[in-house]
Structure 1
Amino acid sequence: MGRPDLLNRTLGFAGSVAIALGGLAAGALPERGDPFAHWPVIRELRHFPLVAIAAAYLGIALLCGAWLRLRRTLDEHTPADLVRTLLCWAAPLVLVPPMFSQDVYSYLAQGAMVHEGFDAYRSGPSAMGGPFAAEVPAIWQNTPAPYGPLFLRAAAAVVNLTGEHVMLGVWAFRLIALAGVALVVLCLPGIAARVGVAPQRALWFGALNPLLLLHLVAGMHNDALMVGLMTAGIYAALRRHPALGAALISAAALIKAPAALALLTVLVLAPRAWPRIGAAAAASAAGLQLASGLGLGWVGAMRTPTSVRNGLSFSTDLGLLLGAVGWPEPMQIIRTVAAVAGCLLAGWALLRAPNPVAGLGLALSSIILLGPVVHPWYLLWAFVPLAAGLRRVPQAAVWGSVGLALFLLPTGAPGFPEAVVAAVVGTVAGLLYLRMRPPVAVPLAAVPAA
C-alpha cells in the first residue's frame, strides 16, 4: 500500500473517530442505562449537542472523501488491503451508542415481547411496557413488528441473554449486525471474481460504502444480517451448492422478505438444480417458520413501515403532492401504480442485466426506489449485489451513497432547524479540509512497498 492510500486510510479513520465522538454526545442515546453519561469530555460535550452534531457531520464528510479518493487507486490494492482499511474505518463505530436510527430499541422491545409470550405481530411495544418499550419512539409504540420470525426469535434470545440492560442488548445487536457485515466481506470478492468483476471494486462499493459503515455498523440495522445471509447464499450457489444457497436465502427472507428475490438468482445460476433448490428453499422456510412458533402474522405486519414519510419515496411524495392540490385519496393509487411499475422494471432488469448477480441488484433497486417507503440503508440490499455484479458502478449510485450518508442526523430523530444548521456547518468544514488537502499524487516507482 502506497503513501496516498495510507493517507486515505488515516483520513477515513479520522472521520470515523469524529463520527463516534459526535455519536457519544448526540447519538440515538438511551433514556436510562447509558454507560457514557458521566465520562469526562463526553459529559461536557452533551451540554452542547449542536457541537456534537457538527463533529459527526465533519466526520461523515471526511469518511466520504476518503472513500471517493480510495477509488482512484483500487487497482494497486489487494482485497486484503481493503479489508484492513474497512476494519480501520469501522473500529471507532463499534462501541458507540446507536447512531442515525432508534430502531434497535424497537428490536429490544419486540424481543422482550416474544420472550414474555406477547404476540409482537398484533401489538406494539406499549402493550407490554417496561424499560425497552420506554426507549421506543412514539411513532412505533403501537405498531406491530414488521420483521420475520427468525429475527424476532434472535431478538428474544438477546433479551434472554442480556436481561433488562439496555446497552448490553444494544451491543448484542451490534454483534449480530457485525456478523452480517462479515458475511458480506467474506463472500463479495468470491462472487465478483466468478462473474468477471474485480474483487477490489466489489469490496470498495459494497463493503467500504459509507452507508454500510453508518447504518449497518453504527446503526446496527437487522438489514445487515439479511444482506449477509443473502450474499452468502449467492456465493454458495456460485460454488455449486445451490441447495445450500437457497436455504441461506430463505433464512434471510425470514428476517426481511425482500431477500426472497435472490432465489431467482440461484435458479438462474443453477438451472439444472431447480428441484433441489425448490425443496431446499421450502424446507428451510417451513422449518424455521415452524421452529419459531410465531405464526404467519409477520406477512400482514410488513406494511407497518409505510407509516413513515421521510421524503425519500417518490411514490409517497407524489401522493402527498396530489393530495395537497385536491386529488381525492391519491396515496393508495399512486403507491400501487408505483409498486407495479417497480415489479415490471425488476423483471426487465433480471432479463437484461449482464449477469444474474447484477440483475438482482438492479431488480432490488427498482423495487426500493419505487416502493412506498425508502430508508438510506434499504439501498444496501441492492448495492451489495450491484458491487459484485457490475464491472462499472454507475456514478448515480456512488454519489447517491454520499448524499444519503448525509441525510440523517446522528440522533436518529427528525431534524430541527438548529441541528440542520450544525450539520451544514460540520459538512462544510469537512469539505473545506478536503479542499485544502487534495489527493497526493506519487509516481508508482516512488512508492515504497508497505
Structure 2
Amino acid sequence: MGRPDLLNRTLGFAGSVAIALGGLAAGALPERGDPLAHWPVIRELRSFPLVAIAGAYVGLALLCGAWLRLRRTLDEQSPSDLVRTLLCWAAPLVLVPPMFSQDVYSYLAQGAMVHEGLDAYKHGPAYLGGPFAAEVPAIWQNTPAPYGPLFLRAAAAVVNVTGAHVTLGVLAFRLISLAGVVMIVLCLPGIATRFGVPPQRAIWFGALNPLLLLHLIAGMHNDAIMVGLMTAGIYAAVRHHPALGAALITAAALIKAPAALALLTILMIAPRAWLRIGAAATASAAGLQLASGLGTGWIGAMHTPTTVRNGLSFSTDLGLLLGALGWPGPMDIIRTAAGVVGCLLAGWALLRAPNPVAGLGLALSSIILLGPVVHPWYLLWAFVPLAAGLRRVPQAAVWGSVGLSLFLLPTGAPGYPEAVVAATVGTVAGLLYLRMRPPVPAPLAAAATS
C-alpha cells in the first residue's frame, strides 16, 4: 500500500473515531441500565450533547471524504488492502452504543414477545411491557413486527441467552449484524469477478460504503443479515450451486421479504436448474416457516414501516402535498400508482440490465425509490448487488450514499433545531479540514506506489 492509500485509511479511521466518540455521548442510548452513564469523560461529554453531535458530524465528513478519495487509487490496491481498510474503519463503530436508529430495541422487545409466547404479529411491544418495551420509541409501541419468522426466532434466541439485560442483547445483535457484513465482504469479490467487475471496486462501493458502516455496523439493522444471506445465495449460484443459493435467498426473504426478488436472479444465472431452484426455495420456505411456529401473520404486518414520514419517499411526499392542497384521499392512490410503476421498472431492469446481478440492483432501486417509505439503509439492498454487477458505479449512487450518510442524527431520534445547527457546524468543520488537506495528486499517488 502506498502513502496516499495509508493517508486515506488514516483519515477514515479518524472519522470513525470521531463518530464513535459522538455516539458514546449522543447515540441511540438506552433510557435505563446504561453501563457507560457514569464513566469519567463520557459522563461529562453527555452533559454537552450538541458538542457530541457536532463531533460526530465532523467524523462523518472525514469518513465520507476518505471514501471518495479512496476511489482515486483503487487500481493500485488489492481486495485484501481494502478489507484491511474496512476493518480499520469499522473497528471504532463496533464498540459504541446503537447509533442513527433505535430499531435494535424493537428487535429485543419483539424477541422477548416470541420468547414469552406472545404474538408479535398482532401486538406491539407495549403489550409486553418490561425493560425491553420501555426502550422502544413511542411510534412503535403498538405496532406489530414487520419482519419474517426467521428473524423473530433469532431475536427470541438472543433474549433466551441474554435474558432481560438490554446491553447484552444489543451486543448480541451487533454480532449478528457483523455476521451479515462478513458474508457481504467474502462473497462480493467472487460475484464481481464472475461478471467482469474489478473486485476492489465492488468492495469499495458495496462494503466500504459509509451507509454500510453507519447503518449495518453502528446501527445494527437486521438488513445486514438479510443482505448477507442474499449475497451468499447469489455467490452460491455463480459457483454452480443454484439450489443452495435459492435456499439462502429464501432464508433472507424470511427475514425481510424484498430479498425474494433475488430468486429471479438465480433463475437467470442458472436457467437450466429452474426445477432444482424452485424445489429448494419451496422446501426452504415451508420448512423454515413451519419450524418457526409463528404462522404467516408477518405478511400482513409488512405495512408497519409505512407509518414513518421522513421526507425520503417520493410517493408519500407527493401524497402529503396533494392532501395539503385539498385533494381527497390522494395518499393511497399515489402510493399504489408509484408501486405499480416501480414494479414495472423493476421488471424492465431485470430484462435489460447487462447481467442478472446488475438487474437485481436496478430492480431493487426502482422498488425502494418508488416505495411508500425509504430509509437510508434500504438503499444497501440495491447497492450491494450493483457493486458486483456494474462496471461503472453511477455518480448518483456515490453521491447519494454520501448525502444519506448525513441525513440522520446519531441519536436515531427526529431532529430538533439546535441539533440540526450542531450537525451543520460539524459538517462544515469537517469539510474545511478536507479542503485544507487536499488529496494527493494522481501523478504523486502513482509515484508513491511505484
Q: What is the DSSP-based 3-state SS (H/G/I as helix, E as strand, rest coil) of the residue aligned with 1:392?
A: coil
Structure 2 residue aligned with 1:326: 326
| Counterpart mapping for 1:80-119 below 5 A | 80-119=80-119
Cα offset, 1:383, TM superposition = 0.1
Residue aligning to 1:37: 37
Counterpart AA for 1:172? A
Query: SS in structure 1 opposite 2:130?
Result: coil
* TM-aligned CA deviation for residue 448 of structure 1: 5.7
* Correspondence for 1:135: 135
**8 Å contact 2:107–2:155 — kept in the other structure?**
yes
Deviation at 1:444, TM superposition (A): 5.5
**TM-score relative to the length of structure 1:** 0.99
Consecutive unaligned residues of structure 1, counting only runs of 5 or more, are none
What are the residue-to-residue correspondences of 1:187-336 with 2, within 5 Å? 187-336=187-336
Q: Which moved more, 1:436-445 or 1:171-180?
A: 436-445
- For residues 411 and 444 of structure 1, do their structure 2 counterparts lie closer, same or farther at Cα, with a shift above 3 Å needed? closer
Amino acid of the structure 2 residue aligned with 1:367: I
1:394 aligns to 2:394 (yes or no): yes
Report the Cα distance in structure 1 between the residues aligned to 2:400 and 2:313, rounded to whole angstroms. 14
Deviation sequence 1:79-100 (CA, Å, 0-9, x none): 0000000000000000100000
Given that 2:56 and 2:410 are in contact with CA atoms closer than 8 Å, whether structure 1 keeps it comes out as yes
Native 8 Å contact 2:64 2:210 kept in 1: yes
Query: Any idea what the Cα deviations from partners look like across 1:89-118, whole Å, max 9, x if unmatched?
Result: 000000100000000000000000000000
- Cα deviation, residue 445, structure 1: 6.3
Percent identity reads 88
Alpha-carbon separation, structure 2, partners of 1:98 and 1:154: 19
What TM-score comes out, normalization by structure 2 length?
0.99
Q: Secondary structure at the match of 1:447?
A: helix
- For the residues of structure 1 that align with 2:111 and 2:147, how far apart are their CA atoms? 11
Return the alpha-carbon distance in structure 1 between the equivalents of residues 178 and 431 of structure 2: 29
Output the CA distance in 1 between the equivalents of 2:33 and 2:150: 27
Aligned counterpart, 1:420: 420
- Equivalent runs, 1:22-61 vs 2, <5 Å: 22-61=22-61
Q: Which amino acid aligns with 2:236?
A: A
- How many correspondences in the alignment? 449
What is the aligned partner in structure 2 of residue 383 from structure 1?
383
- Partners of 1:66 and 1:444 lie apart in 2 by 15
**Letter matched to residue 239 of structure 2:** R
Select between 227-236 and 34-43 the one with higher mean Cα deviation. 34-43
Residue matched to 2:372: 372
Q: Which SS does the other structure have where 1:63 is aligned?
A: helix
Q: What's 1:8 paired with? A: 8
Q: CA deviation at 1:231?
A: 0.2
Identify the residue that residue 447 of structure 1 maps to in structure 2: 448
Partner secondary structure for residue 214 of structure 2: helix
Structure 2 unaligned residues grouped into runs of 5+: none
- SS where residue 74 of structure 2 aligns? helix
Q: Distance in 1 between matches of 2:391 and 2:32?
A: 48
How many angstroms apart in 2 are the aligned matches of 1:392 and 1:309? 33
Aligned to 1:64: 64
Preserved contact between residue 121 and residue 298 of structure 1 (Cα < 8 Å): yes
- Give me the CA root mean square deviation: 0.8
Shift of 1:446: 3.7
* Alignment partners' CA distance in 2, 1:76 and 1:141: 50
CA contact (8 A) 1:95 1:171 kept: no
- Note if contact 2:233-2:247 (Cα within 8 Å) is conserved in structure 1: yes
Partner of 1:434: 434
Alignment of 1:164-183 (within 5 A): 164-183=164-183
State the SS of the aligned residue for 1:443. helix
Q: Report the secondary structure of 1:220's partner residue.
A: coil
